[in-house]
Amino acid sequence: MPTIKVLGGGREVGRAAYLVSDRGEKFLLDYGVNFDEEDHPQFPGHVRPIELSGISISHSHLDHIAAAPLLYITGRPRAFTTRPTMEMGRILIRDFLKLNAFYIDYELSDVETMSENTIYLEYGEEVEAGGFRILMTSAGHILGSSITYLTTPSGHLIMYTGDVNTIQTWTLSKAELWPLKIDTLIIESTYGSTKHPPRHLTEKKLIDSIEEVIDRNGTVLIPAFSVGRSQEIICLLQAELPHVDVYLDGMSREITSLYLRYKSFLRDPSIFEKAVENTNFIKGWQDRRKAWRKPGVIVSSAGMLKGGPSVYYLKKIGSNPRNAVFLVSYQAVGSPGHEVLETGGIEEFGIEKLRARLQWFDLSSHAGKDGLLGILLHYKHSLKNVIIIHGEPDAANNLASMVKERMGNDINVFIPNNGDEINVES
Ligand SMILES: [Zn+2]
Ligand SMILES: [Zn+2]
């Protein structure tokens, strides 16, 4: 009987790591990290690399990939993922290592060993590893992100959503649900109790707000995650406000070049190319010092104002009510972005009261509760088990009640804790 051991991501967002065992073979779905309140990395449960037939990596966010190099200190398991995931993963892990080296047991050379042992998949292509078969399709979350379909040695079909988005965005198509008879679904639940407002309305609100600020000769700072959100914003600006000056700063620049290199993973490469042409890349301090002095939009990492050039811009433009700070990313509790939304100021930057206009826009790259339910209903005729992970307890519980309500009691629903091992019937 196949079993799934939850090594991370049980009743928490992040640190995704799921070990599938069947007929003596083992396969790992993701191996990511989380951060505690002091921002120190937390690793998932231990795996012996020698026992693995392989590991698949759903996407390049640290909470899905950043523990994986640990497996290459002593082992050489084959990794399965898309090219953009590994390329972006290497950039993000390099940064993670730089900031947290003291807490991390692996080195850059182990990251290289991981990438040397990677087998790259195209969406829809199926490969074998040990007794397992692996297939990936687009998850719509960030460039190269994948839903993983894993057939175990005894023929049990597991679908793992990774982080998934079920709506089309400027850069990516919506998640592609492959026509298969899924037995067990491992589903994320980040927004298991949240209904996102319709995307086009949020975008319109953001565009209208930007126009108001520009009309008053103000500067807009959009702190955005370097992977995904920044690229979405520059596409939106190119489409709706092509006459406005747009600047891109921080790690987003390097990631944007990667998006260009792997255009075939984009929904419409021509939209993206135009957006990049329309965007001024900040190349150094000279550009940076000029950018905020005139009306325009500055898109810069970090998305939660935790560092990066966005902090510099915030300090420069924040005291003038003509300017604006528009947050478009998730703001974790304890982050400066969260603090300014709650209190209007940020203590560590010496900002008692932000004078610039401040607003938050829901442009999530995760499916809301309706989208998640849509995935479940899509496979309802074959589903026997649903394992809800990658969500706070409230969100996971809410999704579980929706499943029971809409799909009846014949289906087994699990909200595991880290360390739990679940038997799934063949
Ligand atoms: Zn995640
Ligand atoms: Zn993610």
- Which helix (H) or strand (E) segment holds residue 258: the answer is helix 252-261
Closest-approaching ligand to the CA atom of 13:
1
163 CA to centre of ligand 2 in angstroms: 5
Whether residues 349 and 385 share a domain: the answer is no
217 CA to centre of ligand 1 in angstroms: 38
Closest-approaching ligand to the CA atom of 14:
1
92 CA to centre of ligand 1 in angstroms: 14
Whether residues 387 and 301 share a domain: the answer is no
Region 278-303 average pLDDT: 96
403 CA to centre of ligand 1 in angstroms: 21
Whether residues 300 and 180 share a domain: the answer is no
Helical H segments across 28-82, by residue range: 62-65
Q: Which of 308, 342, 360 is the last residue of a domain?
A: 360
271 CA to centre of ligand 2 in angstroms: 23
Whether residues 271 and 168 share a domain: the answer is no
pLDDT (tens digit per residue) in 127-145: 999 999 999 999 999 999 9
Residues with CB under 5 A from ligand 2 (ion): 61, 163
Closest-approaching ligand to the CA atom of 64:
1
Q: Per-residue pLDDT for 426 more than 70?
A: no
pLDDT (tens digit per residue) in 12-27: 999 999 999 999 999 9
Whether residues 240 and 324 share a domain: the answer is yes
Whether residues 251 and 133 share a domain: the answer is no
58 CA to centre of ligand 1 in angstroms: 9
319 CA to centre of ligand 2 in angstroms: 33
Phi/psi region, residue 23 (left: phi>0; alpha: psi -120 to 50; beta: rest), is left
30 CA to centre of ligand 2 in angstroms: 11
Task: Go through 70-104 and write b for each residue having 16 or more CB atoms within 10 A of its CB, e for each that does not.
Answer: bbbeeeebbbbbbbbbbbbbbbbbeebbeebeeeb
Whether residues 61 and 209 share a domain: the answer is no
Whether residues 42 and 188 share a domain: the answer is yes
pLDDT (tens digit per residue) in 301-323: 999 999 999 999 999 999 999 99
What is the residue range of 100's domain? 3-194+365-423
Cα distances (Å, whole numbers) of residue 139 to 78, 175, 366, 385: 22, 4, 10, 21
Q: Which of 343, 360, 377 is the last residue of a domain?
A: 360
Closest-approaching ligand to the CA atom of 164:
2
Q: What is the pLDDT of residue 37?
A: 84
377 CA to centre of ligand 1 in angstroms: 22
Question: Which of 36-40, 203-207, 252-256 shows the lowest mean pLDDT across its residues?
Answer: 36-40
Q: Would strands 79-81 and 118-120 be described as parallel, antiparallel, or unpaired?
A: parallel
245 CA to centre of ligand 1 in angstroms: 32
355 CA to centre of ligand 1 in angstroms: 33
Closest-approaching ligand to the CA atom of 160:
1
**In the chain, pLDDT over 90 holds for what percent of residues?**
96
CATH at 229: 3.40.50.10890
Question: In the predicted model, what is the mean pLDDT of the chain?
Answer: 97
61 CA to centre of ligand 2 in angstroms: 5
Name, in order, each residue with C-beta under 8 angstroms of 329's C-beta and a sequence gap of 6 or more: 223, 224, 225, 229, 303, 304, 337, 363
Task: Go through 148-168 and write b for each residue having 16 or more CB atoms within 10 A of its CB, e for each that does not.
Answer: bbbbbbeebbbbbbbbbbbbe
> What is d(CA 176, CA 361) in angstroms, rounded to the nearest whole number?
26
396 CA to centre of ligand 1 in angstroms: 14
Phi/psi region, residue 161 (left: phi>0; alpha: psi -120 to 50; beta: rest), is alpha
64 CA to centre of ligand 2 in angstroms: 7
How many CB atoms lie under 10 A from the CB of residue 242? 11
Whether residues 122 and 241 share a domain: the answer is no
Rg, C-alpha atoms of the chain: 21
Region 52-56 average pLDDT: 98
Whether residues 206 and 346 share a domain: the answer is yes
190 CA to centre of ligand 2 in angstroms: 10
- Which helix (H) or strand (E) segment holds residue 343: the answer is helix 336-343
pLDDT (tens digit per residue) in 222-242: 999 999 999 999 999 999 999
Q: Identify whether the C-beta of residue 335 lies closer than 8 Å to the C-beta of residue 305.
A: yes
Closest-approaching ligand to the CA atom of 188:
1
User: At how many degrees (to 10) do helices 269-277 and 252-261 cross?
Assistant: 140
Q: What is the pLDDT of residue 333?
A: 86
284 CA to centre of ligand 1 in angstroms: 31
Q: Would strands 25-29 and 52-56 be described as parallel, antiparallel, or unpaired?
A: parallel
Region 379-391 average pLDDT: 97
Provide the number of structural domains found in the chain.
2
Q: Which of 312, 343, 360 is the last residue of a domain?
A: 360
Q: What is the pLDDT of residue 408?
A: 87
CATH at 69: 3.60.15.10
255 CA to centre of ligand 2 in angstroms: 15
Whether residues 158 and 271 share a domain: the answer is no
Cα distances (Å, whole numbers) of residue 426 to 23, 28, 55, 151, 160: 11, 19, 21, 11, 17
Whether residues 186 and 40 share a domain: the answer is yes
